[in-house]
Every structure is written in C-alpha cells, then in structure tokens.
Amino acid sequence: MSPTPKIPARGASAPASHEFAEAFVPQPDGADAARAEAASLGLECVSTGTAAALTFLATTLKARSVVEIGTGTGVASLALLAGMAPDGVLTSIDAETDLQLRARHALAGVGVPTRRARLIAGQALEVLPKLTDGAYDLVFVDGDALEYVEYVAQASRLLRSGGVLVLNHALWQGRVADDADDADEPLIIREALDAVRSDEGFTPVLLPVGDGLLVAVRS
C-alpha cells in the first residue's frame, strides 16, 4: 500500500493565493498613476482585486448609472468606468474638493469625457437624498465607515431592481469577524452588514477581496 499523501494544513497557502488573486487582472489605464497620487498623500485606495471586481460588476450589469461614495484620487472611478457602458455616467461624491480635482485629472489623463464623470464635492449624506429613487445600476460605498448604515439605507432607495450594492472595507482589517471588537468602525460595519443581510430586498454575498467586499443584488 502506498503511503497516504500529506494534505497541507487548511489555509497554509492563503497569503500567497490571496496575493495571486489580487494581481490576477491587469489594472485599467491610469490606475498606477492614481495609486501613486494616493500614496503621496498618505491615502488608502481600493486594492487591485477590488478594482477588478468593480470593473467585472459594472460590465456584467452593463451599467449606465453608477454612484460612488468616496472619490479619492480616482482609482475606483477608473475601475468602474472601465466596465460601464460607453454612454454611462458615474456620479462620485467626496467631501474633499482637492481630491476630486486630482481624480478629474486622472480621468482626463485616460480620455474620460467630463460628461461621463459627475464629481460632486459635498457630504455624502447631504448629497445622496437629492439623487433619484430607483435610477442607479450600482452603488459603490467607500466613504466614512461610521456612516455605512445610512449609506445602505440610501442605496436601497437609489438602486433599481437588479441593481447592485457594493461595500468596501466590509471586513475592516479582519476586525469585523471579532464580535468582541467593539471599536467604532468594526461595530458600525457589522451593523451595516446585518442591515443588508436582514433586508429581504437584498441577496448578499461577503467576499474576502481586498479588505472585504459585500456585494448585494436588489430585488
């Protein structure tokens, strides 16, 4: 009888596999420059795997109307626009006017027409109520973690039937999974995840992409 082969311990290669998955899909034009811009400002941006997932979702939906909460330097904006329909319009909200100017520069650098990216400087919870109910194919949340529950409520209103909600940082540095961690960010994000999961109008999945990605389809 031949010896029983040894099976690697579960998760032993997880870091290498995660790194491989994150780098699997090439980034859209302009992403490297936008990432460098974020790094120079000490800002975090979406992971490469998260960016690929955004492009995938926008492509799958043939998205024409997308809301982004948290523009940053435009890394996620580039990913979303790369998957959207050629006439699609991205509405991106950020409280920092300077960041939106940098994002606009990143988009212009790869030939995105101004009409395809509506950048709105302002507090998300003041801007979102002014947007049209049921008019959006996708809502991407990457704003203030302490406002995630309110963002979920707004997304529920804004999304059309079949539209998709995407929450970045859904695992918040691995801390959301620890129920004993009652710091503000993981606590509020857990509440936001529970709000989506308990809403019969959403069909969710929680993906270990980047810092965690909650994806939910609106019925």
15, part of any domain: no
112: domain CATH number? 3.40.50.150
76, part of any domain: yes
**What pLDDT does 7 receive?**
45
195, part of any domain: yes
**What pLDDT does 15 receive?**
87
What one-character-per-residue DSSP string does 138-172 give? EEEE-S-GGGHHHHHHHHHHHEEEEEEEEEETSST
**What pLDDT does 68 receive?**
98
**What pLDDT does 14 receive?**
75
Domain coverage including residue 194 = 46-218
30, part of any domain: no
**What pLDDT does 19 receive?**
92
89, part of any domain: yes
Please tell me the total count of domains within the chain: 1
Contacts 24+ apart (CB under 8 A), 206-209: 206/170, 206/171, 207/53, 207/170, 208/18, 208/171, 209/21, 209/22, 209/47, 209/49, 209/50, 209/53
**What pLDDT does 192 receive?**
98
Compute mean pLDDT per 10 residues along the chain, 219 residues long, and list them: 48 77 92 96 96 98 98 98 97 96 96 96 98 98 98 98 98 95 97 98 97 97
**What pLDDT does 1 receive?**
45
11, part of any domain: no
**What pLDDT does 180 receive?**
95
162: amino acid identity, one letter: G
10, part of any domain: no
E-state strands within the chain:
65-69, 89-94, 117-121, 136-141, 159-168, 202-207, 213-218
107, part of any domain: yes
